[in-house]
Structure 1
Amino acid sequence: MKKVLVELYDEDMSENLISLSLREYDRVVFMCFSESGPDSRRRSLMQSVIRRRRGIETDFWEVKERSVDAAHSTLCALLRWDAHYCIDLTGGDELFIAAAGMLIKERSATDANAAGEPLSFSVHSCSIPTRREDLHFGRFPDAGDKPAPFTFEDIITLNGGKMLEEGSAESGTSPEALRKEIILLWHALRDMPTEWNRFCSISYVEGTLPDENGEISRRFSKSDDAVISERVMQRLSKRGFVERYRIEGSELRYVLSAKAHTRELYLMAGTVLEMYTALAAADTGLFRECHTEVLLDYDGVVTGKPADPVNELDVTLMYGIIPVFISCKNTAVTKEFLYEIRTMTDHFGGKYAVAMIVSSKETPEPVRERAREMHVALVDNVQDLTLTEFRAAIRKVFAAITGNTTAGA
């Protein structure tokens, strides 16, 4: 007998996917009122994603009259199919929940099995325990042999956006080499985020690629650029990332060593913290996916025009079915940063999504208080944390958010 999931359609996309993530079904039917159901584009997206990930068909049953009686009648009509039904009572319009309550009362007074209508009800929680798997470290993701039922990209798509691309390590970089490079570079620069930010803003003379002599040239525009460059070069030379360098007048010339094989780490100031954060998150074993430098089209319609709104996310994770949006800051957190990550999380992730900021420096108390009010998780002062402490801080965030004690272990 086929198993049919009856889902009460909810505006939040994660709510619609949780039951499908927990059990196998042969079909899913979304119940909704005509006035509040999904539009044609969203229906098409839902059908496409569910078919691709679960291999099943998706139907939508609309009720024209917004009333408990009309919802009840439609549910009863649906249950005439020869199948086993599971009605998800979490989420959706409260009138459908009331109609399901009427159905429960009716079925408790009769023998549903005798009537040939096997029926069950489920109430789920989004605090889904995740498997503690070893994630292959690279620029990610890898969740083992079994693919995740729904991915971060699926969540973005269903919320009207489009995942354009994510960062990727240079070809030939092994996960072990990349991991070692990130850790060594982080330790070289973690106590000088301001200087590193300034250094990365110094303009290149002829592009970011080395010349025929293997040299990269930067041109100074501020009075202290030379001093800052000297400090950064000394650090990178000491760690073996710079083979040689020289400062001549208003220019810096340097050669990166073979040890510095991931160019992205040396181009943008925030990339080191972003990849160090991704490394720490992957090490916790809590997440099914881990991405860095994700570009998202705001409305899912890619035009290629400059006016087309595109957002960048530093690090994204999937904790069970919960998407996690992380902004990494090489400075102290401000209230503006809170608003930015909260807005992106609400737009692309829905009500269960986690907004998080990782910062090099300590967060001022007024900003910390505002973060609590806005439900933005903070992991700050990372420059003073060991990798073990950083991992523990991430686990603590998810133990507090989800109530899952395993996450904090």
Structure 2
Amino acid sequence: MERTKAIVKFFSQEPIENVMVMMKYMPERVIFLGHKDNMITKQIRDIEQFRDHKYPDMELEFIEVPKDDLDNIIGTLAGIIREYPGIRFALTGGSEMLLIALGCISARMEVSKLRIDPFTGKEIDVRGSKVITSDYHFNISIAEDIMLHGGLLTKETGSISEWKFTDQFREDIRIMWDLCRRYRGDWNKHCGVIDELRKNTPNQREGWSELYINQLGDAIRLLRDLYEIGMLKDYEEHGKKVMFRFKNNQIKKIIAKAGNMLELHVYEVATREGYLFSDAVIGAHIDWDGEVHDTMNPGYDTMNEIDVILMKQVCPIFISCKSGKAGGSALHELETVSRKFGGKYARKALVLARACDNTTGTMFFKQRARDMHIWIIDDVFRMSDEQLLNKLKRI
């Protein structure tokens, strides 16, 4: 099958709309038409970076046309048609003036036009009086989505740097989640006590933790239960002290940051059946502008961390997990990050371990989330894995 020579794409402010024809048809050249106020240099660079990553031999051309000169736009379109007979026009995201100009030309000659819906992958192809619809399975990775929106998924991302999801670790997550559910609100408190004492107890043997039982208080129960389920090894209580080693570093990290447990549970349930989501990451560290400005002082870069990101073809789902209380700032952070790195095709959810109460403040919080199109999934402690998965699939 001969490769498509060129396609004209009306430039969109939604990054994913600009690359749908690139992914489906992989033409030799894509000609972007847009206006000065929306075809900004940073977005052009992001598209070029995406092209370099996926289609390095594809040529891109960016043509700026005036926003208020219909004749000029018609002349530009006519020139492209003369240079590329039979060229197709991808309309998704185009401005009204560009669409009017193409309509004027279509009244005089047959022009092939197409529109692709990123949500469904459905294409409507109009050739003269003939309308053809077709479906296509589009996929991009989360790293590619972040790149396309001008950011960078850094090497600090948990899926890359911390968590290795072997079959054994997945089983450990399930076992530890069952224990976490038993402790509920005490889980965070006990993990915090254990981690704080571990950090502040000197002269510990290599790989061992030695803590004073009286300082642990009720948290000693959690240590005993962790040993019972096999997450601690070489566990000993001698006099005033308890000594133990963690099963591995991943278990140690879960106890060191209690909130990790809910994030891992959500990720493990979502990815257990690999076909449900096209990509997934946990502990996503996103550099806001995709450029590391100072490797010696990473604090100079604007960074965001999202607990879990799932991908449905080209639509990202940003998930924030809270094992304790969540305030309005959690909603605003989720909204800001999802708008920046997913645009109107992003979906977002706030997952809460505990149930929301019926106080006035909570009702206001939930209404605010609805206004921001943020799903609230609460009371996960009481949910079966199947119930949680069904809610994740509905986002």
TM-score category of the 2 structures, normalised to the smaller one: 0.7 to 0.9
Between the aligned partners of 1:93 and 1:210, the Cα distance in structure 2 is 68
Which of 378, 381, 384 is 1:380 aligned to?
A: 378
Q: Letter of the aligned partner of 1:48 in structure 2?
A: Q
1:341 corresponds to: 334
The answer to whether the Cα contact below 8 Å between 1:245 and 1:255 also exists between their aligned partners in 2 is: no
Summarize the alignment of residues 32-71 of structure 1 with structure 2, pairs less than 5 Å apart.
Answer: 32-39=34-41, 41-55=42-56, 56-64=58-66, 66-71=68-73
Superimposed CA distance per residue, residues 180-221 of structure 1 (whole angstroms, 9 cap, x where no aligned partner): 11111111112434322223333254589995464224689x
Superimposed CA distance per residue, residues 264-290 of structure 1 (whole angstroms, 9 cap, x where no aligned partner): 333221212112111222235331110
Q: Higher helix share goes to which structure?
A: 2
The answer to whether the Cα contact below 8 Å between 1:283 and 1:391 also exists between their aligned partners in 2 is: no
- Unaligned 5+ segments in structure 2 are 123-136, 357-361
Asked if residue 352 in structure 1 is aligned to residue 350 in structure 2, the reply is: no
Q: 1:252 to 1:16 in 2, by over 3 A?
A: farther
Asked if residue 371 in structure 1 is aligned to residue 353 in structure 2, the reply is: no
Q: 1:181 to 1:340 in 2, by over 3 A?
A: same
Between the aligned partners of 1:51 and 1:69, the Cα distance in structure 2 is 34
Q: Letter of the aligned partner of 2:117 in structure 1?
A: S
Between the aligned partners of 2:170 and 2:312, the Cα distance in structure 1 is 22
1:141 corresponds to: none
Which of 265, 268, 276 is 1:279 aligned to?
A: 268
1:144 corresponds to: none
Q: 1:65 to 1:126 in 2, by over 3 A?
A: closer
The answer to whether the Cα contact below 8 Å between 2:246 and 2:252 also exists between their aligned partners in 1 is: no
More divergent stretch after superposition (65-74 vs 267-276): 65-74
Asked if residue 192 in structure 1 is aligned to residue 173 in structure 2, the reply is: no
Q: CA deviation at 1:310?
A: 1.6
Q: CA deviation at 1:88?
A: 1.7
Between the aligned partners of 2:245 and 2:307, the Cα distance in structure 1 is 28
Which of 81, 84, 87 is 1:82 aligned to?
A: 84
Q: CA deviation at 1:103?
A: 2.6
Q: 1:148 to 1:278 in 2, by over 3 A?
A: farther
Q: Secondary structure at the match of 1:90?
A: coil
Which of 173, 177, 194 is 1:182 aligned to?
A: 173
Between the aligned partners of 2:377 and 2:247, the Cα distance in structure 1 is 33
2:146 corresponds to: 156
Between the aligned partners of 2:373 and 2:16, the Cα distance in structure 1 is 18
RMSD: 3.2
Asked if residue 20 in structure 1 is aligned to residue 22 in structure 2, the reply is: yes
Summarize the alignment of residues 93-242 of structure 1 with structure 2, pairs less than 5 Å apart.
Answer: 93-107=95-109, 112=110, 119-128=111-120, 150-165=140-155, 166-168=157-159, 175-202=166-193, 203-205=196-198, 211-212=204-205, 214-217=207-210, 226-242=216-232
How many residue pairs match? The answer is 365
Q: CA deviation at 1:148?
A: 7.4
Identity level (%): 22
Q: CA deviation at 1:254?
A: 2.8
- Unaligned 5+ segments in structure 1 are 113-118, 131-146, 398-409
2:133 corresponds to: none
Q: 1:228 to 1:30 in 2, by over 3 A?
A: farther
